[in-house]
């Protein structure tokens, strides 16, 4: 059992924290906080536990911990979690167990919730959501706020390095928000240190818990989808079943949309982003450095996507295009070596469709990359060298 104590508001200079004590047993109490700039203090929900429940849901399901609290949970969230989401996940994903939630119910609406938000990570998925909603013809769905959270994307398990990376990127997000005339909400939290779960296995719940903590602010929130709706399935990576997650987390005050799920795949999104001019200056997909390194998996894939669509030259301010052309054969080989992955499959098909020739030497190199990967991932070899399984 895990008990959530009534949250408290703590002010510290121009920052305000919403703090929850989580009691796991008589010897273990974890203090979890979410910190916002004080201008957003009036929007913090200290009268209900919706956000923290969503944030710890998969943790509690993994460790088979029922959730109890004297502080209320929104009636609709309780209904949707206990009747649809928890049974579906526990019935279909092995490591998760069915759990119960015991807390008083509430259903007070917030008249202040009017903002329309989405997260800015700098990648293709988030720019697609921004491009689609920055000037849409439905006023209630037009983007008003950008968000940037230290919710696991800067480091699975939080800590000082992740917090530093998060802080370093705030200036980049601030500049973009200012140029686009959008408000920016940044939220730091120590939940990552407690959860100690892989971000890729929990990201939807970690990212959407925060707009739920701020549901006095947001009425609509776009969550940038990593998967098409056609790929729905239960899997460790929640993006595959966001089609179920997002309606189950949407409440009377706030509606979540899985933006990008309606597309046929990555290339449709890359094409839409390449028609959005601010992305030429701000696209930042890199997973290893603060600006695009051009050589990590995400950089190579995005470079090849822009190249195949004939849009690469538009991004010469954020990518070293000369270096890309110098290494093109190597990048082709990398792409071919990952041909089972849906995004690379789509990319290879596009090269073929556009009759853009891939040299034979890249096919030969891809063969050796795959053989090397197979040897390294061989269970016996890994046991001999005592290495953990590769995360490919």
Among residues 22 and 286, whose Cβ is nearest to Zn ion? 286
Among residues 298 and 311, whose Cβ is nearest to Zn ion? 298
What does the block give as tokens for 30?
Answer: 């974890």
Among residues 285 and 348, whose Cβ is nearest to Zn ion? 285
Instruction: Tell me if 165 contacts Zn ion by CB under 5 A.
Output: no
Q: Which residues contact 262 (CB under 8 A, 6 or more apart)?
A: 228, 229
Contact status, residue 359 vs residue 331, Cβ threshold 8 Å: no
Among residues 107 and 156, whose Cβ is nearest to Zn ion? 156
Closest distance between Zn ion and the C-beta of residue 284, in Å? 9
Among residues 124 and 299, whose Cβ is nearest to Zn ion? 299
Closest distance between Zn ion and the C-beta of residue 289, in Å? 6
Closest distance between Zn ion and the C-beta of residue 211, in Å? 28
Total residues in contact with Zn ion, by rule CB under 5 A: 4
Write the secondary structure of the chain as one string of H (helix), E (strand) and C (coil): CEEECCCEEEEECCEEEEEEEEEEECCEEEEEEEEEEHHHHHHCCCCCCHHHHHHHHHHHHHCCCCEEECCCEEHHHHHHHHHHHHHHHHHHCCCCCCCCEECCEECCCCCCCCEEEEECCCCHHHHHHHHHHCCCCCHHHCCCEEEEECCCCCCCCCHHHHHHHHHHHHHHHHHHHHHCCCEEEEEEECHHHHHCCCHHHHHHHHHHHHHHHCCCCEEEEEEECCCCHHHCCCCCCHHHHHHHHHHHHCCCCCEEEEECCCCCCHHHHHHHHHCCCCHHHHCCCCCCCCCCCCCCHHHHHHHHHHHHCCCHHHHCCCCCHHHHHHCHHHHHHHHHHCCCCHHHHHHHHHHHHCCCCCCHHHHHHHHHHHHHHHHHHCHHHHHHCCCCCCCC
Q: How many angstroms from the chain centroid is the CA of residue 18? A: 22
Q: Exactly one of 1, 71, 106, 293 binds Zn ion (CB under 5 A); which one?
A: 293
Among residues 19 and 293, whose Cβ is nearest to Zn ion? 293
Among residues 81 and 299, whose Cβ is nearest to Zn ion? 299
Closest distance between Zn ion and the C-beta of residue 319, in Å? 9
Piece of the chain touching Zn ion by CB under 5 A; list 120-128, 171-179, 275-283, 292-300: 292-300
Stretch 100-119: interaction string toward Zn ion, x if CB under 5 A:
--------------------
Closest distance between Zn ion and the C-beta of residue 291, in Å? 9
Among residues 170 and 296, whose Cβ is nearest to Zn ion? 296
Piece of the chain touching Zn ion by CB under 5 A; list 47-55, 62-70, 278-286, 306-314: 278-286
Piece of the chain touching Zn ion by CB under 5 A; list 48-56, 217-225, 293-301, 328-336: 293-301
Among residues 31 and 288, whose Cβ is nearest to Zn ion? 288
Q: Exactly one of 299, 304, 306, 308 binds Zn ion (CB under 5 A); which one?
A: 299
| Contacts of Zn ion in 220-249 (CB under 5 A) | none
Q: Exactly one of 99, 286, 333, 335 binds Zn ion (CB under 5 A); which one?
A: 286
Instruction: Tell me if 296 contacts Zn ion by CB under 5 A.
Output: yes
| Contacts of Zn ion in 329-348 (CB under 5 A) | none
- Angle subtended at Cα 162 by Cα 156 and Cα 168, rounded to the nearest 5 degrees: 140
Stretch 58-97: interaction string toward Zn ion, x if CB under 5 A:
----------------------------------------
What does the binding site for Zn ion look like in residue numbers (CB under 5 A)? 286, 293, 296, 299
């Amino acid at each position: 059992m895990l008990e959530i104590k009534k949250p408290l508001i703590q002010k510290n200079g121009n920052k305000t924290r919403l703090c929850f004590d989580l009691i796991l047993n008589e010897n273990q109490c974890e203090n979890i906080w979410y910190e916002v700039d004080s201008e957003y203090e009036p929007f913090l929900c200290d009268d209900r536990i919706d956000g923290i429940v969503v944030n710890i849901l998969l943790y509690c399901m993994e460790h088979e911990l029922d959730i109890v609290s004297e502080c209320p949970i929104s009636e609709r969230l309780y209904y949707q979690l206990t009747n649809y989401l928890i049974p579906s996940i526990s019935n279909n994903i092995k490591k998760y167990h069915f759990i119960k939630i015991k807390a008083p119910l509430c259903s007070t609406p917030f008249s202040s919730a009017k903002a329309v938000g989405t997260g800015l990570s700098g990648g293709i998925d988030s720019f697609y959501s921004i491009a689609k909603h920055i000037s849409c013809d439905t006023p209630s769905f037009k983007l008003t706020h950008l968000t940037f959270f230290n919710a696991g994307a800067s480091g699975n398990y939080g800590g000082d390095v992740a917090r530093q990376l998060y802080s370093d990127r705030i200036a980049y997000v601030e500049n973009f928000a200012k140029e686009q005339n959008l408000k920016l909400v940044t939220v730091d939290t120590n939940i990552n240190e407690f959860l100690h779960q892989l971000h890729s296995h929990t990201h939807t719940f970690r990212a959407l818990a925060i707009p739920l903590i701020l549901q006095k602010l947001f009425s609509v929130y776009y969550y940038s989808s990593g998967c098409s709706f056609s790929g729905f399935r239960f899997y460790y990576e929640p993006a595959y079943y966001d089609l179920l997650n997002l309606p189950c987390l949407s409440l009377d005050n706030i509606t979540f949309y899985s933006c990008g799920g309606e597309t046929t795949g990555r290339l449709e999104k890359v094409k839409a982003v390449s028609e959005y001019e601010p992305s030429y200056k701000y696209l930042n997909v890199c997973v290893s450095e603060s600006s695009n390194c051009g050589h990590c998996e995400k950089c190579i894939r995005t470079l090849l996507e822009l190249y195949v669509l004939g849009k690469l030259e538009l991004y010469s301010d954020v990518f070293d295009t000369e270096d890309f052309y110098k290494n093109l054969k190597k990048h082709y080989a990398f792409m071919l070596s990952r041909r089972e992955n849906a995004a690379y499959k789509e990319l290879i098909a596009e090269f073929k469709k556009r009759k853009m020739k891939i040299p034979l030497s890249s096919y030969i190199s891809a063969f050796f990359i795959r053989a090397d990967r197979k040897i390294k991932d061989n269970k016996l070899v890994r046991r001999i060298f005592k290495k953990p399984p590769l995360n490919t």
